[in-house]
Amino acid sequence: MRINRLTLHNFRNYKELDMDLGNGVNVFQGENAQGKTNVLEAMYFCAFGRSHRTSKDKELVRWGEDNARIKLHIERERLDKDIDIFILNDGKKSIGVNKIKIKKMGDLIGVLNIVMFSPEDLKIVKESPSLRRKFLDMEISQLDRKYYNALVSYNKVLNERNSLMKNRKMDRNMLDVYDHQLVDNGLYIMKQRMNYIRMLNARGKDIHLEITSGRENVDFVYVPSVPFGESMKDDFLTSLSRNREKDMEKGNTSVGTHRDDFSININGVDVRSYGSQGQQRTAVLTMKFASLGIIRDIKGEYPVLLLDDVLSELDLSRKKFILKSIENIQTVITCTGVENIEDYLTGDYRLFNVTDGSLKWKE
């Protein structure tokens, strides 16, 4: 799929922007703090209904203005789509798809598929399990709306369970009801995570070998909070009840899919603890490029790829890998200009100059 046209109104530092994107590589070049990432953020918002860097939507409204608007036209294999987003400066938002206002976020997810890669993504490998869960959740949700809905229900039940447990005079029967609801949603989440990690291995192993010239074998291993297998429903319920007394003291739930993780091993060794900086970087690159292929396998077409500032951080062979891999994928690359990116681009590309909230196509 491709984003043909993007219109912004009072979004971040853009007063007005109306741009046509090329089908291949689009390079946004400009100095720091000019508005390169802001445009990617607007596109990301249309895919996931939220920003990749803030949870406060009102920050997206241009300072001093009442509301921001993002409009985007997507060309897809089957049916083209228009997305229209209004964000008010009190943080409220309304989202339309093909002129129909959507009622819940789940109806937006998956309309536009996006893979975004920025330097902060190194944290997926290095830091806490929550970032790896977030990676899985974003990737699987954009392929499977049922997963997104299960996740929303799971988190709602989890919050209700936790607040009930904080109440000393609680109804224990209600806790039993919550446990069953957690397990029902949790089992679907676990199955889909297991399946995604299987696809990550199937796609990622070859990519990783290619980037490392055959030197490194990568393995992604699901580390669920409750053992995965035939008896996982019973195991899940038993773990919840076994931990109940302890959980009640703390007012939180110590087992469940909200505690899942996955490990990334290179040549059999956990890259989070033992990997070099370069190995960790390659691991993220592998995950991102594997996820492009997974989306293509399932949706029948590639997503749009957003590369924010990543080329300057990578060595020549990884740069070449990226630029070779994006031939059939609409890509937006931001850079400051020192990377001489034009030297590496072989096919058609469009170059845009970004200065102080304005973006101009340099023909």
Q: Which residues form the interface with ligand ATP (CB under 6 A)?
A: 12-13, 30, 32-38, 59, 61-63, 309, 336, 354
Residues in the chain: 363
Return the number of the residue (157 or 351) whose C-beta is nearest Mg ion.
351
Please give the Cα distance from 347 to 312 (Å, whole number): 20
328 assigned ligand-binding residue: no
**Least CB distance to ligand ATP at residue 101 (A):** 24
230 assigned ligand-binding residue: no
**Least CB distance to Mg ion at residue 21 (A):** 18
**Least CB distance to Mg ion at residue 81 (A):** 27
**Least CB distance to ligand ATP at residue 7 (A):** 17
Question: Residue 159 burial by CB count (10 A; 0-12/13-18/19+): exposed, middle or buried?
Answer: exposed
Q: Which of the listed partners (ligand ATP, Mg ion, none) does 7 bind, with a CB threshold of 5 to 8 Å by partner kind? A: none
Distances (CA, A) of 240 to 33, 178, 222, 235: 48, 10, 20, 9
Q: How far is CA 330 from the centre of its chain?
A: 17
Q: Which residues bind Mg ion (CB under 5 A)?
A: 36-37
Q: Which of the listed partners (Mg ion, ligand ATP, none) does 35 bind, with a CB threshold of 5 to 8 Å by partner kind? A: ligand ATP
Return the number of the residue (155 or 336) whose C-beta is nearest ligand ATP.
336
33 assigned ligand-binding residue: yes
Tell me the two tokens of residue 211.
């980037």
Return the number of the residue (219 or 309) whose C-beta is nearest ligand ATP.
309
31 assigned ligand-binding residue: yes
Return the number of the residue (30 or 204) whose C-beta is nearest ligand ATP.
30
Other CB atoms within 10 A of residue 211 CB: 24
- The DSSP output letter for 51 is -
Other CB atoms within 10 A of residue 114 CB: 22
| Side-chain half-sphere CA neighbours of 139 within 13 A | 29
Return the number of the residue (36 or 350) whose C-beta is nearest ligand ATP.
36
Q: What DSSP string runs through 262-313?
A: EEEEETTEEHHHH--HHHHHHHHHHHHHHHHHHHHHHHSS--EEEEES-GGG
Tell me if 348 sits within 8 A of 5, measured CB to CB: no
279 assigned ligand-binding residue: no
Return the number of the residue (120 or 210) whose C-beta is nearest Mg ion.
120
Q: Which of the listed partners (ligand ATP, Mg ion, none) does 55 bind, with a CB threshold of 5 to 8 Å by partner kind? A: none
**Least CB distance to Mg ion at residue 37 (A):** 3
37 assigned ligand-binding residue: yes
**Least CB distance to ligand ATP at residue 118 (A):** 9
User: Residues at the annotated binding site for ATP?
Assistant: 30-37
